Structure 1
């Protein structure tokens, strides 16, 4: 794999290779894993930083389901009646892993598969933005064998079924998290969710991933809906969880690659205005809207990537003052949304066949007064000629790749 000269010499030392999935096996058991279970550091810090629209954000992801299929499931319908259904929320590519990567980091850097990926340490994620403002965060991964586990997968120890997979754990993909014990310790098994709830130690930002059975990947949307109902319904009346909280229920990608990659998504929680319960929102969103919404709510810095231009969820934007934008209209010079399928990845450092250089964050980004994180500026400001982000709403896909400001 080649890496662009956009990386400094020092940063190259922190780059880990992308190992093809076929070359990385799942852990089926072993003394090393069991030993680590007994000694792994686990942390559950809390905070109470007030947001403009919500004080807690929870993202729950499911797998590989077409919009209409998910919308027709009785359990997902039940939750839709309690919140806002997003009718134009899109994944950013196929398959799974690049979508998880993008949802916390603002880009997927060309990734077009589900290999073992370790993103260089000088690439920031939403964790850096949250910590800068003292906001607690945590990830809960069903069947993860221990906190901070970096392995490719972990199977069910009773029946051998697929269980935890690294590709569905977005922050462990980033070396800026995985290589720092105090950060990795906040990526935990979902059993720790129950412990943190009981101890009133839930963080303000959460990402929750069911296992390969519960998320519908190896089963069906019916199984996914049943898991969600069992997990989330009791929490809707639990003030230890539901305390000015916004929950996003969504899918990583759709199942059918020949149609637009639109995913069924619901916003709900006690932070949602009562008059919006049971309604729909037809504004254009994508996985980057998760980052932009969190940035707007807590007035965070930005990553300087596709997060800067992403629409903030409408009801939050009304509170923060963010202006919602529409994709190029059909009569504009730009390519209309109807021509974008978001089904193929554009070239990048992680693309298995089509290399492109690492893009540099936009260190001069500005949106509603929000600017790029100073630490990001310090790392990348000298290489702004390699930036292709310009705060635009319209994101690229494989058929409409990003335009670099230089030849390579």
Structure 2
């Protein structure tokens, strides 16, 4: 069984490419037709990690740090784990934060438009599959597995509840071009089926709908949904299998202040001595990738993931060093509220070429190197490389060289 499962994971990267974004129609009849034949997979692996064996990431929407930590339900969850009080989003609006959190760069994006990202831009999914680690996404109100449409209106209440912009994997053609990868991007209802069947993946990204996450409602609604979702799971032995849960927000709401958001670490992978504590180390969405790389000793993407801080409870097990921001521009002057230029920026001007990953970068105590397939794809490419192994990352006010607006 295990060899079959691992073969399935390997096969996911070799499936004959389909035309990306085939399953985008939102008319009722089209959705019903596609749903009837949609492929759904639940691959299972058990690759041991150094600090956790399973990671569940839950993202909420558009809330300032003080407002989020002041919500009674999120405050209750904070007491069950570690509060990351110095965690930052990477820009505005929503979509660039989601896509950057799995690839190590938002590539200049400053919009929520329908986007297809070139197939040679890799994500954490490539790193996980290289190590034979199962992954999946659970999207509330997604109409069927692998749906690639811009949005889907809830058929009962008429609300625009599922949106592509909050689904990070589907925007990358490396995933949209693989039927097996689309098959593990599923409706949240399948989370409970996988829980019951003991077929949850080891890495999962969970997106509530636009009401549950606070986008079209408020922090009270988002906090209530999050607690009601997680509280039973924190006491469920089927879920708590050396599991780490990250709850965070895509971005803050007030653009004139620093883009700092609440993040919480929960689960039975959190040491008892750290429950109810606060970690003031500097983190951002790229730390999500760096932490996974360190935990399972994966390769890297060669982008901003290489220099990002690993969450301290994991770094304590892996030997990774937690660093402080020491850039020429002090952290207090970095607001992360605007995007620099790049290929996904829809404004005129600026460099529209995809930057290349830093193929020579080495990360961490164990010298994690860039994924070989990334090296093969980008070797000899004349694209500008602006990534390094430093903690400090640019923003629109302090852009990387060569990617400033013209």
- Within the candidate set 215, 235, 238, 1:237 is matched to 235
- The aligned residue for residue 331 of structure 2 is 337
SS at 1:69 equivalent: helix
Q: Tell me if the contact between 1:386 and 1:405 (Cα under 8 Å) persists in the aligned partners.
A: no
4+ aligned runs moved over 3 Å, structure 1: 13-17, 404-408
- The aligned residue for residue 313 of structure 2 is 315
Distance 1:309 1:233 in 2: 33
Bigger Cα displacement from structure 2, 237-246 vs 379-388: 379-388
- The aligned residue for residue 162 of structure 2 is 164
Q: Tell me if the contact between 1:64 and 1:253 (Cα under 8 Å) persists in the aligned partners.
A: yes
Distance 1:14 1:362 in 2: 29
Is residue 258 from structure 1 mapped to residue 250 from structure 2 by the alignment? Answer: no
Distance 1:317 1:94 in 2: 29
- The aligned residue for residue 355 of structure 1 is 350
Length-normalised TM-score, structure 1:
0.91
Q: Tell me if the contact between 1:388 and 1:405 (Cα under 8 Å) persists in the aligned partners.
A: no
Report 1:277-296 matches (<5 A).
277-296=275-294
Q: What do residues 3-50 of structure 1 show as CA deviations (whole Å, max 9, x unaligned)?
A: xxxxxxxxxx99989xxxxxxx993x4211111111100000000000
Q: Tell me if the contact between 1:385 and 1:405 (Cα under 8 Å) persists in the aligned partners.
A: no
Distance 2:95 2:55 in 1: 22
Report 1:354-373 matches (<5 A).
354-356=349-351, 357-368=353-364, 369-373=367-371
Instruction: Calculate the aligned-residue CA RMSD, in Å.
Output: 2.0
Q: Tell me if the contact between 1:138 and 1:186 (Cα under 8 Å) persists in the aligned partners.
A: yes
Report 1:387-406 matches (<5 A).
387-404=385-402
- The aligned residue for residue 12 of structure 2 is none
SS at 2:144 equivalent: coil
Report 1:98-109 matches (<5 A).
98-109=96-107
- The aligned residue for residue 82 of structure 1 is 80
Gaps of 5+ in 2: 1-16
Length-normalised TM-score, structure 2:
0.92
Shift of 1:355: 3.0
Q: Tell me if the contact between 2:116 and 2:173 (Cα under 8 Å) persists in the aligned partners.
A: yes
Pair 406,165 (structure 1): closer, same or farther in 2 beyond 3 Å: closer
SS at 1:217 equivalent: coil
Is residue 197 from structure 1 mapped to residue 216 from structure 2 by the alignment? Answer: no
Report 1:7-406 matches (<5 A).
27=26, 29-328=27-326, 334-353=328-347, 354-356=349-351, 357-368=353-364, 369-383=367-381, 386-404=384-402
Gaps of 5+ in 1: 1-12, 18-24
SS at 1:224 equivalent: helix
Pair 385,192 (structure 1): closer, same or farther in 2 beyond 3 Å: closer
Q: What do residues 59-103 of structure 1 show as CA deviations (whole Å, max 9, x unaligned)?
A: 000000010000000000010000000010000000000000000
Q: Tell me if the contact between 1:147 and 1:184 (Cα under 8 Å) persists in the aligned partners.
A: yes
Q: Tell me if the contact between 2:308 and 2:391 (Cα under 8 Å) persists in the aligned partners.
A: yes
Shift of 1:404: 3.6
Shift of 1:407: 12
Shift of 1:390: 1.2
Give the paired residue count.
384
Distance 2:166 2:405 in 1: 34
Distance 1:384 1:130 in 2: 28
